[in-house]
Amino acid sequence: MRIKPFIVTGILLLLLLASNPVRMLQAQSGLEYQEPSVLIPVDLMGGFNRYNLVIPSFLPIAASGSLGEDAGRLQKRLSTNLDMTGYFQLLDPRSSLESNPRAGLAPETPIDYAPWAQIGANFVIKGAIEQRGSRLTLELRLFDISTGTQLLAKRYTGPVKDARKMINRFTNEVLLVITGERGVFGSQIIFLSDSSVMMTELGADEAEGVSGSRAGNAFFPTIGYGGRTAWTRQNGNKWELVADGKVVYSGELVIAPAFSPSGVLAAGFSGPSSTNIAVFENRTPRVITRGGNLEISPTFSPDGSRMAYVSDQGGSAGIYIAPASGGTGQRLSPPGKSTDPSWSPKGDKIAFVLRERDICVINADGSGLVQLTSGQGVNRHPSFSPDGRMIVFHTSRGGKNQLYVMAANGDRQQPLIPEFTGTQTLPTWSPEMPEM
């Protein structure tokens, strides 16, 4: 039978309560790394050593120069970025016995590695800044204390308003040198705030509304390759599926859309007797699953061949996997209610929510279940970063729903945009790596 409107509203309330191109910066290279002198071995789902990192206060590029008001903020942004990754333990730079704070900022004043080694530092990042009108120059250097080498030196010049982007790019370069994979700072995350669709970046302080989203009635935003966006909304007695700011379907309930790697848009769709996964092509939904009374929340493997989704075909909601083209699904998650699946970009893991409050990850073959959150409010809607090393989610800890980010092994759980005051729910991380 058709799902009644009051039942639909109940489903949405349950799920919701439970659940521009970047401006190119001019970058000039100083000493470039050829082969990293150290690679941190990282088991993303296990433990790994944290490396002691020191980031002293930024200084003027010229010894006689003055600091702009952005120097402290940018040093804090870089510290926050690198702490967020879980790879580093930040040390207080005031504990160093370094005699010359400008050491390492220019070839004529080489860094003295000994004072940093004495406090147990593995790496030191030195920064210098110069602002002239609306233009900013930022010089950043990474030193490996254990080998006594400079691993990385970058000079960024650009508008003052792009200073945070400079910091994010340098963060990505640091991660590339030390771990062998560049970071994802600057990558986009779409989410819902008070029923309005918003966009932020990893390494941002605020968020902006998405063009074409109508305030007050949006649900379940998502983002795909090419910056494509989609969400659902209610318009009178009809439900609409909005893709790239345009209505592509209007009619029965549509819920929790997702893009496949090839750009196909799928969502839960309310048919005559059940809600199943459908793909939306030429404004006509084509149902591809019929295993249960309620099937929603599709997420696709990175090669596009398989789809994980929520189904109640076993009696209680669980995570199932089926061919992306549809067909019979096989249960992946353990007994108990499981929702909100997210497939990792490397294809080996699926994150999901167990018992409507805690985030877990499991191998795509059903082995290796690991619980990442526990005893910290209700945690919902995980989504992997485009490199698979981090997870964004929303949580009720702290008394209101906020976006949090953590390492993929559950480490370093912290607010994503603590300065954003609105409610924050239902995040989805873009699958695309940020520009370098």
SS3 50: coil
Domains located in the chain, CATH noted: 5-19+186-429 (2.120.10.30), 26-179 (3.40.50.10070)
C-beta neighbour count of 293 within 10 angstroms: 13
The reported pLDDT for the residue numbered 436 is 73
What is the rounded CA–CA span in Å between residue 136 and residue 59?
13
Specify the pLDDT at position 292. Answer: 85
Give yes or no for a contact between 132 and 138, defined as CB atoms under 8 angstroms apart. no
Block residue for tokens 């010359």: 100
C-alpha to C-alpha distance for 428 and 72, rounded to whole angstroms? 31
Please give the pLDDT value at position 16.
39
CB atoms within 10 A of CB 258: 26
Among residues 211, 132, 114, 204, the alpha carbon closest in space to that of 167 is found at 204
Instruction: State pTM to two decimals.
Output: 0.87
**Paired sense of beta strands 358-363 and 349-354, if any:** antiparallel
Q: What is the pLDDT of residues 42-89, one digit of tens each?
A: 444 445 568 999 999 999 998 887 776 678 899 999 999 999 998 999
The DSSP secondary structure of 420-434, one letter per residue, reads --S--EEEEE-SSPP
**What is the structure's pLDDT at 35?**
37
From residue 182, alpha-carbon distances to 164, 170, 387, 423 in Å are: 17, 10, 9, 31
Query: Could you tell me which residues come within 8 angstroms of residue 142 by beta carbon, excluding any fewer than 6 positions away?
Result: 123, 124, 125, 150, 151, 152, 153, 174, 177
The CA-based diameter of the chain, rounded to the nearest angstrom, is 79
Q: Where are the beta strands (DSSP E) in 58-101?
A: 59-60, 88-90
Element (H, E) at 155: strand 149-159
Using 50 as the pLDDT threshold, list the residues of the chain that sit under it.
1-46
Take residue 158 and report the two structure tokens written for it.
């650009």
Distance CA 13, CA 19 (A): 9
**Would you state the pLDDT for residue 9?**
38
- At position 266, the amino acid (one-letter code) is A
The Cα 363–Cα 354 span in angstroms is: 15
Question: Using CA of residue 395, residue 397, residue 401, residue 402, what is the dihedral sign?
Answer: negative
Residue 220 CA, distance from chain mean position: 16
* DSSP sequence for 190-212: EEEETTEEEEEETT-S--EEPTT
Nearest-5° Cα angle at 392, 389 to 395: 140
